[in-house]
A and B are shown apart, each in its own frame.
Chain A
Amino acid sequence: MLWPRLARNLLTRPRTDPPVTPRPEVVAALRERLAEAGQRRLGRSLAIRHVDAGSCNGCELECHALGNVAHDLERYGLRFVASPRHADVLLVTGPLTRNMAEALLRCRAATPEPVWVVAAGDCAVDGGVFKGSYAVLGGVEEAIMPDLVIPGCPPTPTQILEGLVALLEAQAG
């Protein structure tokens, strides 16, 4: 039955967390990056393509959690898309394994400009605990320069959201 459910939901508090506020210094740094690159601005909404470049899947769990009712990333105008061709942001996790390097580069090549590259998780930042392995290149920047890094093992959904919302803020300014 729809009506009782509707009534119940109108009478209870929202299940969603209050919105996150990004750190001002991060927003400022991103704005500078934008200006330097003379990059064309994207709108107030970002389409995100997630790329797992060899993670342990811990980071994926937290990327998934971005979509649950508590974090609800779509309320910010953020959404995950199925193809790099639709993406404004590449959200990359994992230490960049040698077996994934070509796929990541091809994915980047398939993403239209302008694009933000975000390295999420300690692995994506510099290889994390897997640094130095024969099978790992050690961080996203070994293939593409990230615009934003979000450390953590894994970063919490709130930390990831703060980063993504900072991207929105940077181009709104």
Chain B
Amino acid sequence: MNAEALLAAGTPTACAPWPRVVVPRAVWIALREAPGLDLLALWGAPGMAHAAFLDRAAMRVVLASLPAPEGRFPALSPGRPGAVLFERALHDLWRLLPEEAVDARPFLDHGRWPVAGPLSARPAPQEPEAPPMTFLPAEGEGVHQIPVGPIHAGIIEPGHFRFHVQGETILRLEARLGYTHKGTLSLMLGKSPRAAARFAARLSGDSTVAHALAFARAAEAAAGVAAPPRAVAIRAAMLELERLHNHLHDLGAIAGDAAFAALHAECGEWREHLLRAQHAAFGHRLMMDRVLPGGVAQDLEAPGIAALRGVLARIAAALPGLRRIYDSHASLQDRMVGTGIIAPALRDAFAPGGVVGRAAGRAFDARVLNGEMAAEAMPLHAAGDVDARWRQRHAEAGIAIARAEALLAALPEGPLAAPLPPRGGEGVALVEGFRGECLAWVALDDGGLIEALYLRDPSWLHWPLLEAAVIGTIVADFPLINKSINGSYSGVDL
């Protein structure tokens, strides 16, 4: 099954700018194995399962939906390991049962909510009882378990990691998330896109611009509105600034997890300078709530632009030095090179986005898909280990600076936002955040209020790869590998 066959076999809906088709069951089952289509996301709606794919040949997104009137649908996980977590969450939130699913255990639902299937048509009241979690087993001589979390040792989001180890070697890791589940999607339903934007901005705080932008673009596509050019440029600049501050954070934190404090301090200082310039320019250090459906919340004025360009120039000058420090310490390299490898077979099976994917050799960046960046401009450090992910981030930080600088130097004049008319429609968007592609899908009812939606963080495909990448490594390398992948907990927990 390729994208053409999929589109021909289904009934099209009015989704913009990429197509969504409602398909019969047999076609849905065929999507388990469709080599040209990478799974982006799988989610639900009352009585309906939705899936989003990347059509690699045509570089576009394709959506498929299967009606599930009986509350069940054929699982995609038998052919697509990346579907496993999505299916578990789908059952938790929408109470749709994935038939023949590889893993039927709950994921986000810990049995502590007052309702079962909170996003289903009729959520059933339930008595919170929190049954004990079950973990996949590992057996053998001297195997023991290390339970970690939900509260971890550092300043980090909560999640439970269950290690099975033999001596120092990790045999199996399972990440159990859902601790930060806030019911974000349910809070957005029935609101206008403008009123719902602040929830998209808080799906994962470190990607606040990326998720808010994906949501805004999807809502604009649904309402048939285009943001004015000045807003488009300011948003694009914010996206690059967000990428840069997070990459600086990760470049430092990875070194910090290898106990190399100097680089950590150096990167942290540059990041702080950048956040202060962002505060000067946007009135918020992380630029939260500055992206709105229709445009931007406020203008970027000359002093702010000057502050940003000044700090960008200084960071650009400092970046090569950061890599020299990294390159010239054999003790640091020793921890990074060959650690936590994501092998090509796994990369192809999961098709992860972002730095994690590119550092394993998967040449995809949503900015190329949106025509914002040339494919040749994308660096690839393809070894798949911690070192490759560090170098990939370093290279991408440089590109982010160049792009932000170019955007800030030539902001078009004009209005900051277009009004969103209260009308129905359906839209989808893919935005390259610092972790990878953030997907938003929004359906508006005739009054322009949100009828159905989904927001998907790239971390959905990164968590299972973390579990795979640590197998055979030692427990002491886990923090390093985890930091180099840096999945969002809140982004997945919804």
Interface residues of A (CB under 8 A from B): 15, 50-65, 67-71, 80, 82-84, 94-95, 97-103, 107, 129-130, 132-136, 153-154, 156
Contact = CB atoms under 8 A, between A and B. Distances in A.
18 contacts: A50-B155, A52-B157, A54-B180, A55-B205, A58-B205, A58-B208, A61-B206, A61-B249, A65-B268, A67-B268, A68-B265, A69-B265, A82-B153, A130-B184, A132-B187, A133-B184, A134-B113, A135-B182
Contact of A54 (B154, B156, B182): B182
Nearest 10 interchain pairs by C-beta: A58-B205, A133-B183, A68-B268, A82-B153, A135-B183, A56-B205, A56-B202, A54-B180, A98-B112, A57-B205
B115 A134 contact: yes
B151 interface: yes
A154 to B, nearest CB: 7
Nearest to A94: B180
Contact of A97 (B156, B179, B268, B286): B179
Given A64-B155, A99-B181, A56 B118 contact: no
A99 B178 contact: yes
Interface stretch (B33-41, B219-227, B269-277, B348-356): B269-277
Interface residues of B, number: 48
B74 interface: no
B376 to A, nearest CB: 33
Contacts of A70: 269, 272
A128 B154 CA distance: 24
A133 B182 contact: yes
Contacts of B182: 54, 56, 95, 97, 130, 133, 135-136
Interface string B180-196: 11111011000000000
B150 interface: yes
Nearest to A50: B155
Contacts of A57: 157, 204-206, 488-490
Nearest to A51: B151
A60 B155 contact: yes
Nearest to A48: B155
Given A68-B265, A134-B114, A52 B156 contact: yes
A56 B286 contact: no
